[in-house]
Amino acid sequence: MNTQNLAATRLTRLLHPDAAPALGAFLPAGFPNWTAGIDLLHSFAQHGAAVLEIGVPSASPVLDGPVISAAYDRALRQGARMTHVMTTVRHAAESGAPVVVMSYWSSVTDFGVQRFADELADAGAAGAMIPDLPLTEAGPWLAAAHAAGISTPQFVPRDVSDADLTQLGAAASGWIYAPAVAATTGYQGALDLTGMQHFTRRLRARTEHPIVAGIGISTPIRARAIAPLVDGIVIGSPLVRPLLEHPGKSGHTQATAQVRAFADALRDAAPAANPRSTASA
């Protein structure tokens, strides 16, 4: 298969620059447990998440902070494996929201590169992002994903050179992931909006892919501030944290409330004349 599957096509349409920025909600597969995680993903989709991002639990999540690392650890201790990821994707896709998987490269190679791409496509995923995979080594993955018809969003570091940015743009499909800060997930410190504006302008000048921001967007107020610069925002730690701190129904209620609050912030921030439709270097 050499064209996008239906889920990937829906994702592309969803992130159109003339639309309000889309909210993506992240949750590790198998967290807080097998059934609750699937129920939560459906709840997130019902309460404002336009995209669902599912994390493959990893024992060495080098780009993640303590919150998501703890969630991955819990999922692994409860027996989460790649087969659980695929089943979670299948159930999450039934919500109607496009599903994107986030995985570290070692998990993909352990499972099998082409098998990973094919099973994701079969489960209904729109794509997968592998943030620790160097572009110089990404050929097998990009070929496998292309053959399966799924998107390959690319994580773009804040200090990326123009030459590398051009190559990342050429390798990407689905979206460009633009971290709001150069930090691990869960960052709650200061947010440099001027720097983020400059970064997104660089991205717009060198790629036509939608830009999705994450990392450091810890509150709805921050989401509202970032929204005019991007086509989507993915939140993870603001959803995982209450699930870690308040097991059971209370945590589920708080996580879903966070989704609603972020979704409302993005709707409120949608500009009348959308600056995302034009880029300046």
Catalytic residues: 53, 64
Of 267, 269, 184, the closest CA to residue 229 belongs to: 269
In the structure encoding, which two tokens stand for residue 150, read together? 């799924």
Q: 3-class DSSP state for residue 262?
A: helix
Count CB neighbours of 136 within 10 A.
Answer: 8
- In the block, tokens 């947010």 appear at 191
Length of the chain as a residue count: 281
Q: Is the distance from CB of 154 to CB of 9 less than 8 angstroms?
A: no
254: number of CA atoms within 13 Å, CB side? 15
**CA–CA distance, 195 with 201 (Å, rounded to integer):** 10
**CA–CA distance, 54 with 2 (Å, rounded to integer):** 24
Strands (E) across the chain are located at 22-28, 51-55, 99-102, 127-129, 154-155, 176-179, 211-214, 232-235
In the structure encoding, which two tokens stand for residue 115, read together? 């098998």
